[in-house]
Amino acid sequence: MTNEAILLGLAGVLTTAAPLIFAVVGETISERGGVINLSINGTVLLTAMGGFAVSVSTGSLLWGFVAGMVIGALVALIVAFGSVTLKQNQVAIGFVLALVCRDLAYFIGNPYMGLEGLRLPSLDIPLLGDIPIIGTLFFNHDLMTYLSYLIIPAAWVWIFRTRPGLVLQGIGEKPAAAFVRGSNVRRLRYLYTVLGGAIIGLSGPIYSLSVKAGWKGTISGLDGLGWIALAITIFGGWNPIRAALGVYLFAFLQWLGLVLQPSLPGVPSQVLQVAPFPLMIMTLLLVNIGNTEWVTRTLAVLPAPLRRFFNRLLRAMRASPPAALGTPFESE
Amino acid sequence: MHLLFIKQMNINLNQICKHFGKLQANDHISLLIPGGTIQGILGENGAGKSTLMKILSGFIQADEGEVILDGVQVRIHSPADAIQHGVGMLHQDPLDFPPMRVIDNFVLGQSGGLFPDWKSVVDEFKQLSEQFDFKLRHDAYVDMLTVGERQQLEILRLLWLGAQVIILDEPTTGISALQKQKLFETLKILAGRGKTVIFVSHKLEDVENLCDRVVVLRQGKLVGEQLKPFNTKNLVNMMFGKSIALEESKSHSTDRIAFELRDLSLEEERIQIQNIDLKIQAGEVIGLAGMEGSGQRPFMQACAGFLRPVHGRILVNGRDMTGMNYPAFKRQGVGYMPASRLEEGMIPGLTLSEHFILAGQQEGLFIDHDQWQEVTREKIRDYNIRGKPESPVESLSGGNQQRALLALLQQPLKLVLLEHPTRGLDIESVIYTWGKLKERCCDGAAIIYTSSDLEEILLYSDRILVFFSGKVSAPLSARGTSVAQLGNLIGGKDWARIKTGVGVTA
Ligand SMILES: Nc1ncnc2c1ncn2[C@@H]1O[C@H](COP(=O)(O)OP(=O)(O)OP(=O)(O)O)[C@@H](O)[C@H]1O
Ligand SMILES: [Mg+2]
């Protein structure tokens, strides 16, 4: 394999990761507010189909993406209504929606199967795109891939550095305390669930208008992406940057599996396809290691400044789910 | 000159009613609080004080009655409305966000631009906490703080927000005498500037020192009102319908060693404690005094098996328990009652009787609900808990949660570890509770407890350990120590005169 091919392959990893990035960031925002949007696997399929269908019918890529966001937001609205207003079990609602949306996508999408459609053009960034290696790797992609880079820090800054972001953390952590501080918990939960849904809704069109343009029904290879996104959201500790690193690691491992397959004829191809999953889990366990007692005790022998540094580092890496995740809020 | 422009807010609560099921928590309560005064609210546990305050601050809605601020009837549907009207409240149990940092908690809820100005916020926080002598680090995580420190954080936040009406529901349980003095000074200054302060407490002394006027609630009704100067006897009479006297507390200390620490060193993120030697006799009561966060909590946790010591041995009844976990300690007869009652002590959402089922011995797979109903009823009677077996624990008043927590401790025990056992209890219940605890001592249990109330420490302990930023004094005899001496030690003074660490058995 030439260096050039490896470089292009790695660059491809960034593009194929884009749908997952949006799905994971959207889910993270929703869950930070305390609402699990479990419908995500169905949403991704439905928006992939919907985005493609709309762009084929209107001849406009923009409308395709808008359709994705609208569909994602609407599905999330149902989740929000069921869990915030009706106070029903979020897991049950989301799971049913995941199945319904998937079947809807296959059913409504039938007429659009295999049609020739639009494809998001590549957009080289001037200057940056010309830098050797870096340019090929990061700046010879399409618009949505660039947006996928941007949405990660944007979401992180919003959640951890802005005033409304602190409130977002608050309503997912202890809604009663956020309520006491003057927040309208129900309205905010609606807002963030729908916003998260809209962001998730971009991941489908990115797939069907860019990564693997077109709609191929059940063989789109898209089914399951939503479940992976859910897992990465959790392992990412509800932190967009960590979750994004998880996504890239996952995409990279998948690519590695494909590349290595020809040179490892003895290994069944299924093993290489599945390998990214346990590897992901191992990595994320390592990241969360600061929670274990023996680590704390091992650290105790280090000199004080070093120990304090490690303690802080481990504490910063520690992740716990938003305490009120999945529970409705009763103000009385 | 500027006195003329002081804005004051008169609060008028008119015929407020609130019921929970059949229970009338507030029964036609009418109360007028002039602006610029400090209003005390007294009443036994479950009298309806918190309920009334929650109504005024919008956390819950009254069934009937009206709130009139400065002559204008207002509708307060949510805390957001209350904040709009300038009403802020400190809740009895801290309503904060444990996994977030202190400074995030501080800022959260404050209005302003998209990005808080972190630097100035941190500066203001430091300045404010220095003003009260609170030792809070702005970058610490709240789940590492003690309950008392979390209350301190909430006090600072509330004062910083600058509400016109400041409601404090039991703010003094987690702060030392000196800090309390500073807090009171500030509250008086604020009242002088026209703010209205409402102060709910069980400590008559605090109320008398701070407040201009006092009302007493009993079983949901307003039963009396007094202006300064107060008549203590009268107040007690109004609160309980009878007079109550403190009794001299007896010692049940025996010769048998129940618990021993040998050269114990502990370490936690914030604090290190070195070389404690201590022998505790069966029946003895050891009080831990010190400012919140001076090391009492890791000490307790080590004694209960939650925190492994980095050095030294722990012996329960002569058996070496070093390095074992809480279930092992529990089997040896060690019981632990944490301070954060709704987070570590009990499970919100479960009823009282479900708690007793969980705490009890399991026999067989299925639960005999009738039998446990009976057990629960007995405990409710025994510990005078105002609630029913089927009440969810979070619906109990603060003091009644505390009683339930005490009732949940298994029996018999060899060592009872209690963090702030009487936090939020009224005087009558404090006496009653200590009576119960001393019964355990009579049966040979040793008790180690923390309290921020020095008088309680001196009255009920046999010996006292003073904590100051990780330093631990040798045990002091409670008889030979005065409140003033203890106060100095807690503040870090006079340590040269006493021995540290190496404990001598009395
Ligand atoms: N959400 C609720 N559901 C049911 N009952 C409740 C609820 N909140 C309070 N109560 C009941 O109302 C009564 C008054 O409670 P409240 O919390 O006002 O008492 P309190 O005077 O603050 O007592 P304490 O000094 O113990 O804090 C109690 O008997 C309590 O059990
Ligand atoms: Mg109360």
For the cut 50, the answer to whether the pLDDT of residue B82 exceeds it is: yes
Q: Is the peptide bond before A111 cis (omega within 30 degrees of 0)?
A: no
Confidence class of residue A332 from pLDDT cuts 50, 70 and 90? low
Strand partners of residue B472? B467
User: Quick one: pLDDT at residue A283?
Assistant: 72
Mean per-residue pLDDT over chain A, rounded: 89
For the cut 50, the answer to whether the pLDDT of residue A259 exceeds it is: yes
Residue with tokens 């069966």: B282
- Report the distance separating Cα A221 and Cα A228, nearest Å: 13
Interface contact flag, B78 A332, Cβ < 8 Å: no
CATH number of B11-240: 3.40.50.300
| Least Cα separation, residue B62 to chain A (angstroms) | 11
Closest CB to A181 among B61, B98, B109: B109
Query: E strands of B120-256, at which residues?
Result: 165-169, 196-200, 213-218, 221-227
From the CB of B397, is ligand 1 less than 6 Å away? yes
Q: B205 CB contacts (<8 Å, ≥6 apart)? A: none
| Least Cα separation, residue A102 to chain B (angstroms) | 36
Does residue A322 lie in a domain region? no
Residues of A with CB under 8 A from a CB of B: 161-164, 166-167, 169-170, 173-174, 176-184, 293, 297, 300, 311, 315, 320, 323, 331-332
Instruction: Give me the mean pLDDT over the B144-161 stretch.
Output: 90
Confidence class of residue A243 from pLDDT cuts 50, 70 and 90? very high
User: Quick one: pLDDT at residue A270?
Assistant: 79
Cα dist. B97→A57, A230, A302, B103, B339 in Å? Answer: 49, 24, 31, 11, 17
For the cut 50, the answer to whether the pLDDT of residue B229 exceeds it is: yes
Confidence class of residue B1 from pLDDT cuts 50, 70 and 90? very low
Q: Report CA(A243)–ligand 1 centroid distance (Å).
A: 43
Does residue A331 lie in a domain region? no
User: Quick one: pLDDT at residue B398?
Assistant: 85
- Report the distance separating Cα A50 and Cα B315, nearest Å: 69
Answer for the pair A207, A19: CB distance below 8 angstroms, yes or no: yes
Buried b / exposed e along A137-148 (16+ C-beta atoms within 10 A)? bbbbbbebbbbb
Which residues line ion ligand 2, judged by CB < 5 Å? B 50, 92, 397-398
Contact list, A169 vs chain B (CB under 8 Å): 97, 100, 104, 108
pLDDT tens for residues B446-501?
999 999 999 999 999 999 999 998 889 999 999 889 999 999 999 888 888 776 65
Does residue A238 lie in a domain region? yes
From the CB of B25, is ligand 1 less than 6 Å away? yes
From the CB of B429, is ligand 1 less than 6 Å away? no
Contact list, B308 vs chain A (CB under 8 Å): 293, 297
User: Quick one: pLDDT at residue A296?
Assistant: 65
- Report the distance separating Cα A248 and Cα A254, nearest Å: 10
Does residue A99 lie in a domain region? yes
User: Quick one: pLDDT at residue B94?
Assistant: 87
Cα dist. B85→B53, B166, B198 in Å? Answer: 15, 12, 15
Q: B55 CB contacts (<8 Å, ≥6 apart)? A: B16, B18, B26, B61, B62, B67, B76
CATH code: domain of residue A244: 1.10.3470
How many distinct structural domains can be found in chain A?
1
Residue-by-residue DSSP string for B246-285: --PPPP---SSEEEEEEEEEEE-SS-EEEEEEEEEETT-E
pTM given for the model: 0.88
For the cut 50, the answer to whether the pLDDT of residue B506 exceeds it is: no
For the cut 50, the answer to whether the pLDDT of residue B266 exceeds it is: yes
For the cut 70, the answer to whether the pLDDT of residue A288 exceeds it is: no
For the cut 90, the answer to whether the pLDDT of residue B105 exceeds it is: yes
Strand partners of residue B24? B19
Residue with tokens 């290190």: B272
pLDDT tens for residues B405-439?
989 988 888 999 999 999 888 888 899 889 989 99
CATH 3.40.50.300 boundaries in chain B: 11-240, 257-333+410-497
Residue type at B405?
L
User: Quick one: pLDDT at residue A293?
Assistant: 64
- Report the distance separating Cα A112 and Cα A214, nearest Å: 9
Instruction: Give me the mean pLDDT over the B10-28 stretch.
Output: 94
Confidence class of residue A1 from pLDDT cuts 50, 70 and 90? low
Instruction: Classify B114 as helix, strand or coil.
Output: coil
User: Quick one: pLDDT at residue B418?
Assistant: 95
What percentage of chain B has pLDDT greater than the value 70? 97
Instruction: Give me the mean pLDDT over the A86-94 stretch.
Output: 93
For the cut 90, the answer to whether the pLDDT of residue B101 exceeds it is: yes
User: Quick one: pLDDT at residue B504?
Assistant: 37
pLDDT tens for residues A57-70?
999 999 999 999 99
Answer for the pair A225, A44: CB distance below 8 angstroms, yes or no: yes
User: Quick one: pLDDT at residue B261?
Assistant: 94
Residue type at B342?
L
What percentage of chain A has pLDDT greater than the value 70? 95
- Report the distance separating Cα B327 and Cα B309, nearest Å: 17
Instruction: Give me the mean pLDDT over the A63-86 stretch.
Output: 96
User: Quick one: pLDDT at residue B3?
Assistant: 46
The closest residue, in CA terms, to atom 25 on ligand 1 is: B45
pLDDT tens for residues A161-210?
999 999 999 999 999 999 999 999 999 999 999 999 999 999 999 999 99
Interface contact flag, A163 B113, Cβ < 8 Å: yes
Confidence class of residue A123 from pLDDT cuts 50, 70 and 90? confident
Answer for the pair B213, B227: CB distance below 8 angstroms, yes or no: yes
> What is the arrangement of strands in the sheet containing B272-281, beginning at the earlier edge strand?
B272-281, B257-267, B311-316, B319-320
Residue-by-residue DSSP string for B151-171: HHHHHHHHHHHT-SEEEEEST
Confidence class of residue A291 from pLDDT cuts 50, 70 and 90? low
Strand partners of residue B463? B286, B477
Q: Report CA(A210)–ligand 2 centroid distance (Å).
A: 60
Q: Name which of B33, B89, B30, B27 is nearest B63 in CA terms.
A: B27
Does residue A44 lie in a domain region? yes
Q: Name which of B269, B405, B291 is nearest B339 in CA terms.
A: B405
- Report the distance separating Cα A117 and Cα B322, nearest Å: 71
Vertex B360: Cα angle to B358 and B364 (nearest 5): 90
Interface contact flag, A178 B112, Cβ < 8 Å: no
Instruction: Give me the mean pLDDT over the A220-245 stretch.
Output: 90
Vertex B409: Cα angle to B405 and B415 (nearest 5): 125
Q: Write out the two tokens for B479.
A: 């008889």
Does residue A325 lie in a domain region? no
For the cut 60, the answer to whether the pLDDT of residue B4 exceeds it is: no
For the cut 70, the answer to whether the pLDDT of residue B6 exceeds it is: no
SS (H, E, C) B278-289: EEEECCCEEEEE
The closest residue, in CA terms, to atom 12 on ligand 1 is: B25
Q: Write out the two tokens for B451.
A: 């309290």
Residue-by-residue DSSP string for B462-476: SEEEEEETTEEBPPE
Instruction: Give me the mean pLDDT over the A301-310 stretch.
Output: 75
From the CB of B47, is ligand 1 less than 6 Å away? yes
User: Quick one: pLDDT at residue B2?
Assistant: 44
Instruction: Classify B450 as helix, strand or coil.
Output: strand
Give the DSSP letter of residue A5: H
Closest CB to B310 among A164, A184, A300: A300
Cα dist. A111→A53, A55, A83, A212, A216 in Å? Answer: 9, 14, 34, 18, 10
- Report the distance separating Cα A306 and Cα A303, nearest Å: 6
| Least Cα separation, residue B59 to chain A (angstroms) | 7
Q: Report CA(B401)–ligand 2 centroid distance (Å).
A: 10
For the cut 90, the answer to whether the pLDDT of residue A136 exceeds it is: no
Instruction: Give me the mean pLDDT over the B340-360 stretch.
Output: 87
Task: For ligand 1, pick from B17, B44, B50, B167 the residue to mutate: most ligand atoms within 8 Å of CB.
Answer: B50
Does residue A14 lie in a domain region? yes
| Least Cα separation, residue A321 to chain B (angstroms) | 10
Range of the domain at A172: 3-317
Instruction: Give me the mean pLDDT over the B107-115 stretch.
Output: 91
Other Cβ atoms less than 10 A from the Cβ of A304: the count is 9
For domain B257-333+410-497, the CATH architecture is 3-Layer(aba) Sandwich (3.40)
